[in-house]
């Protein structure tokens, strides 16, 4: 078996792993607030990494410039905002809408890169962004309109123009923006750090910020059932450590564009799991809008990688 074959298998494992995140979160939200879930996800992941990464991370951190340290902190802050916003969105909107919208991250990275990293923005990115925006409108309308082969029937625009569903979709979009900023900040500082050190430091900073937010909000970190704590652990182990580690390992052997395109499988996997475990079937508008959004991401990513 070649390294490319191994990378492909590991990518499949990674996609399956991250696809479970929304399901674990939904189960945990039956008892725990979203901020608490986010804090445990990053906090437990950091604790698991600590025995392997702490000493090396401190050594590498001492050699960094002040600017690089600030960039690491910014990356951790944006990662904390990403998880706080995205996990909160799952309380307010459907799994399909939330996951598809947050998957638009590569588009926002493409738009940020010319401004922050002086990277050239290719024409295909604009086409991809236009497609994704059109798909996003369909996803939003699907909350208040019924789509069928004969036409569209809307019973008011409460789902799209106001209310908690709209806010949930906006939180997912904000999470995509925060994730894009996190990736751009990471792209700048990563050449100065090993992968394990970077992940440990950023996860740790995000965890501390989320723990602080939990304390300020007045929520408790304790008093939850064993099943809820089990979902905290599963979130840290499967989507956070196994999933993201698989993607980072695969980047050593296959093109980044291939990895980015493989990530488009996450919304599909998550939606299927939501149907099986949550009984939450996507509407026709969500499916259509989701396909258009993923098509836009594919166009932008493929063009950027050529």
Q: Give 80-121 pLDDT, tens digit per residue.
A: 999 999 999 999 988 988 988 888 887 787 777 666 655 566
Domain count, the chain: 1
Output the pTM of the full model. Answer: 0.85
Q: Domain span at residue 43?
A: 3-305
pLDDT band (50, 70, 90) for residue 218: very high
* CA–CA separation, 41 and 294 (whole Å): 27
DSSP structure string for 162-184: SHHHHHHHHHHHHHHHHHHHHHH
d(CA 87, CA 261): 23
Cα–Cα separations (whole angstroms), residue 6 to 3, 77, 145, 151:
5, 33, 44, 46
- Give the contacts of 137 (CB within 8 A, at least 6 positions apart): 289
Residue with the bigger pLDDT between 154 and 9: it is 9
Instruction: Report pLDDT digits (tens) over 74-90.
Output: 999 999 999 999 999 99
For 205, how many CA atoms within 13 A lie in the half-sphere containing its CB? 19
Q: What is the pLDDT of residues 276-303, one digit of tens each?
A: 999 988 877 778 877 887 787 777 666 5
Q: What is the pLDDT of residues 220-267, one digit of tens each?
A: 999 999 999 999 999 999 999 998 878 777 766 666 556 666 677 788
> Which conformational region is residue 93 in: left (phi greater than 0), alpha (psi within -120 to 50 degrees), or beta?
beta
């Amino acid at each position: 078996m070649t390294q490319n074959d191994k990378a492909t298998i590991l990518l499949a494992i990674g996609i399956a792993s991250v696809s479970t995140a929304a399901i674990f979160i939904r189960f945990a939200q039956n008892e725990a607030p979203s901020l608490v879930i986010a804090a445990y996800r990053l906090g437990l992941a950091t604790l698991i990494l600590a025995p392997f990464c702490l000493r090396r991370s401190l050594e590498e951190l001492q050699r960094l410039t002040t600017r690089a340290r600030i960039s690491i902190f910014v990356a951790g802050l944006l990662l904390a905002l990403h998880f706080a916003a995205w996990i909160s969105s799952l309380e307010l909107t459907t799994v399909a809408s939330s996951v598809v919208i947050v998957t638009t991250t590569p588009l926002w990275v493409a738009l940020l890169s010319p401004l922050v990293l002086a990277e050239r923005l290719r024409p295909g990115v604009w086409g991809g962004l236009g497609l994704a925006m059109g798909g996003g409108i369909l996803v939003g309308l699907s909350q208040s309109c019924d789509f069928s082969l004969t036409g569209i029937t809307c019973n008011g625009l409460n789902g799209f123009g106001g209310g908690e569903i709209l806010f949930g979709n906006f939180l997912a979009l904000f999470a995509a923006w925060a994730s894009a900023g996190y990736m751009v900040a990471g792209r700048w500082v990563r050449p100065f750090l090993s992968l394990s050190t970077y992940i440990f430091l950023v996860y740790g900073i995000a965890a501390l910020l989320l723990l602080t937010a939990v304390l300020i909000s007045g929520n408790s970190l304790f008093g939850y059932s064993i099943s809820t704590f089990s979902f905290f652990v599963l979130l840290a182990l499967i989507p956070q450590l196994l999933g993201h580690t698989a993607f980072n390992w695969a980047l050593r052997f296959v093109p980044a564009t291939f990895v980015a395109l493989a990530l488009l499988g996450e919304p599909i996997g998550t939606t299927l799991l939501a149907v099986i475990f949550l009984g939450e079937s996507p509407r026709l508008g969500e499916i259509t809008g989701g396909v258009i959004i993923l098509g836009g991401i594919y166009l932008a990513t493929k063009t950027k990688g050529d």
